[in-house]
Structures are given as C-alpha cells and as structure tokens.
Amino acid sequence: MTAEPTRIEPFDAVDVIRAKRDGGAVPEPALRWMVDAYTRGYVSDAQMASFAMAIFQRGMERDEIRVLTDAMIASGERMDFSGLGKKTVDKHSTGGVGDKITLPLAPLVAVFGVAVPQLSGRGLGHTGGTLDKLESIPGWRAALSNEEMFAQMQGDVGAVICAAGSGLAPADKKLYALRDVTGTVEAIPLIASSIMSKKIAEGTDALVLDVKVGNGAFMQDIDRARELARTMVALGTDSGVATTALLTDMNVPLGLAIGNANEVRESVEILAGGGPADVRELTIALAREMLALSGQPDADVEAALDDGRAMDRWNAMIRAQDGDPTAPLPVAKETHVVTAPADGVITRMDALPFGIAAWRLGAGRARAQDPVIFAAGIDLAVKPGDEVRAGQPLFTLSADDDARFARALEALEGAWEIGDTAVPAGPIVRERITA
C-alpha cells in the first residue's frame, strides 16, 4: 500500500506573521492560505494567536480586510435566497444592554413583503443574545434547517430569527474563540471580518448595521465606532450587499427591561403599539433604513406597529418555530427593589454596570456552555431625566436565588445618580454611515 504524498504548503505561517508584525500588508495568496491552513488545522492556535496580535497592533489595509473576510466566507457554505421571489434584508447589532430590537424589527419589516433572514447568536458577558431571549418562549426552537428557513421566508411569515448553521464561515467560529482568550477581540479588522463574513455568507441582498457607541457598548469611543462602521459598510458594498450603518447611543440601557423573558415582554409591548419611547424610536429608524435599501423608502412602518400587522407577523413567526406566543413567560422566584434615597432627578444611569448586574443575576453567561436563567434580569422604573421622590422604586432585580443580589448590587454601586437638574438626553441615532 502506497502512502499518500505529504502536502507541500505554499507558504510558511511564520513568514505571514512576520510580514504583519513588521507593519507590511500580507499578499492576498498568503492571507487566503493562512485562513485556510488554520481552518484545516495546519496552522496552530499559537501561530494564529500571534497573527491576530500582529493585526491588533499593526492594523490592516482595506484590501487586506476584504481578502480576510472573503477567505473566511470561502471556508464554508454560502446561502442563496435568490429563489425566494422577494428581496432579503438583514440587520446586525454590535450588542448592548437591553438591546431587544431584533425581536419587533424582523416581523415589522416582513409586513412589507421583504424577507428577513435574521441569523442571531447567544449572549456572552454583559451583552444579551437574541436567541436566549426567544428561548424564554415555551417551545420556541432556534435550530432550523436551510429548507425550513427558506419556507418560512417564502411563505406568509416572511421573517425568521434562528441560529446560524455550523457551515457558515467556520474559519470565523474558530478564530472568534481564539480572539476571546488572547486579548485581540477589539481589533477592528478582526471584528469587521468576523461580522461581515457571516452576514455576506448568509446571502442577504441588503444589510443594516446598528453600531452601538457608549459606555455599555463594545465601542465606547465614537471615532472607533465610526471606523468600524465604515469598514463594515465598505466590506458589504465591495461584496455586492447594499449596506448602511447607524451609530446608536448605548450610554443608557435601551428600554426598561434588561434580561431575557422581560425583554420579550417589552418587545411585545412595542408590537402592540406601546412600549418605551427609545425602543420604539430605534425600531422604527432601523425598519425605515432596511426598507429603504429594499426599495421602499416611504413605507409607513409606524402604522404597521400601531394597527396590529406587525403583531400578527410576530405571532406567526413564533408559531412557525414551535413557540407559543400566548404562553406565560418565566417569572423569577426572588425580587429585590432599589428605591430612591432622596428627592431629585435621575441624572445618570450607566448602561455597562446594569448589563453586568443582569449577568450576575443569571441573565447572561460567563462561558459559552453556561445556561441562562430566563426570568433573571432588571426592570427599570425610571430613566435619566425622570423626577423621583425619596422611597420611590428605581429598579427591580429578579433572580431565582436571592444569594445573587449582593454581587449584582455591588456592580451597580455608583452606576446611577440623583441630582437637582436633568441633563438633556442626546439622540438615539447619532450618525448614519453609507458607502
């Protein structure tokens, strides 16, 4: 029996690492090889970690980021929705505290005959995950086959929120896990290529990016948020996906609910024409952006929220994935109410500590394999600008174990403030980035 010949590799990982370490641009063939060789295990985790750190320190040119993204797409399958007979549009958020916008947004956009293939993820740390929120609905199922996705979008439902299949950009999945443990998460070329490789491989015609900026966001500095948005818009545009981005505020929690089941409740309030003003405003802004990219710039999205059409789509979408939209949502066993120590005005309510507190209550996970407690979280009774009286409830912590309250309260020390004068709130949508 003749042994298979040893594969001769065209490049050496050390040479690719050195090229980037020394500030040069990695040639396209070498960069494509690096991604492929890492995906199949020839390039080691240690070598790819070194390469990621070189990217973190030296950055990448626009064309390098395009090649990196394309190589990650090429590592797996690419979905094709051209047979749907209607346009497809997706939204991606970089994540924040209380960000449940995908839930009301997908069915709202679907009302207008546009298909919404919303491939979503789970939460990690202080940022919540869309799938975790939806899994608090009894029976709801995140895992769908490509055939089930296609049928749901082609039919009367028109929208699907589900987990991305393992076949989409497997190189990104492997590299993402490595970045998380090597201090290279914040590198803009790696963030942009990670997000856009999955979104482009998803096969959508158009994409709207919600890039959060503020103390509760991944990007706390507006200049870096702007750079990330511009990089991702360029990647989408270069790949033939109509792409725009909104920079949106994440200095204050979005809405009044932070958690999973409570965020579903708030989303249903939005679909019923009510809910917190900031959640409604951002849902409408993103829906208008998505529909404009789909050729409907004048769509009356507010009417679709107020007259029940978006709610009807929500109910159909949840039922299509085996969920019961009428079933009671989980309720926590224990609650702890924090009250105002004095009269005054809420002048500050920092998003990040509230996200960390909700995570410590059980609403989030420290490791990917950890379970979440659907009923855990925080419900706000006030937001910055509201007048309060001493003894008035400010927010309620919920958990299944009252032993969790101490560490959650510890996270919230200094996170909010009562003063004499309200600070005017800034706009939710801070900038719009286009190609």
Positions marked catalytic? 92, 172, 179, 194, 198
H-helix or E-strand containing 402?
none
- Of 133, 93, 132, 100, nearest to 219 by C-alpha is 93
**DSSP letter assigned to residue 220:** -
Tally the residues of the chain: 435
Query: What is the spatial distance between Cα 202 and Cα 198, in angstroms, rounded to a whole number?
Result: 6
Q: Alpha-carbon distance 150 to 366, whole Å?
A: 33
**CA atoms 121, 88, 432, 168: torsion sign:** positive
Contacts of 108 (CB under 8 A, 6+ apart): 271, 283, 287, 301, 304, 305, 310, 313
CA 128 distance to own-chain centroid:
8
CB contact at 8 A, 325 and 367: no
Structure tokens that stand for 91 in this block: 């939204």
Determine the Cα angle at 198 with ends 197 and 203, to 5°: 100
218, 95 contact by CB (below 8 A) = yes
Amino acid found at 362: G
Tell me which residue has tokens 């929500």: 314
C-alpha of 203 from chain center: 18
Integer Cα distance of 343 and 194 in angstroms: 47
